[in-house]
Amino acid sequence: MATNTTTEVAVLGGGCFWCLEAVYLQVRGVTHVESGYSGGQSGAPTYEQVCGGGTGHAEVVRVEFDPALINYRDLLEIFFTIHDPTTLNRQGNDCGTQYRSVIFYQSPEQEATARQVMAEMANVWDAPIVTELQPAPAYYKAEDYHQDYFRQHPLQGYCAFVVEPKVAKFRKIFSARLK
């Protein structure tokens, strides 16, 4: 008997895409995660261009998920737990608009859910949330060497000292959501 599985997409930016990708790859119900760029003016940007800050693009992850196993709200709750949505254009030592906190919604339903979750999270954080909420613009896949970066380079300095703590925090808080 064939099953009819429909996936949905979430596009999220919360600092370096390696961090978000590493977490969402471990979430039960997530079927695919891809690092990329979105929200800028130039077409087909490169990593060097985005890092230079002149394209307007943010580093993002494109998360495909099965809504029968995990819903968009749950993905956003993970998002607001694994990055700091109160720092403008910055996550830790990563500074610039390419590291901004942003949700690119795919539908009016996603927009409404994001607004609700953001309002709830405003009561959790001590500082105002600066996460941008925008309709999904064009998305560009990042270069192949950025895909599944943490899994391929767990001992690389940035991965060991920045990505791993975020993955550990996710695993501790959301253990019921692990694959």
- From the number of C-beta atoms within 10 Å of its C-beta (0-12, 13-18, 19+), residue 142 rates as buried
Strand order in the sheet with 8-14: 132-135, 101-105, 8-14, 58-65, 30-38, 139-141
Indicate which residues carry an active-site annotation.
Answer: 16
CA–CA distance, 55 with 63 (Å, rounded to integer): 22
Whole-angstrom distance, CA of residue 80 vs CA of residue 144: 27
Burial grade of 157 (CB within 10 A; 0-12, 13-18, 19 or more):
exposed
**Residue 45 corresponds to which amino acid?**
P
The helix or strand, by DSSP H or E, that contains position 78, with its residue range, turns out to be helix 72-82
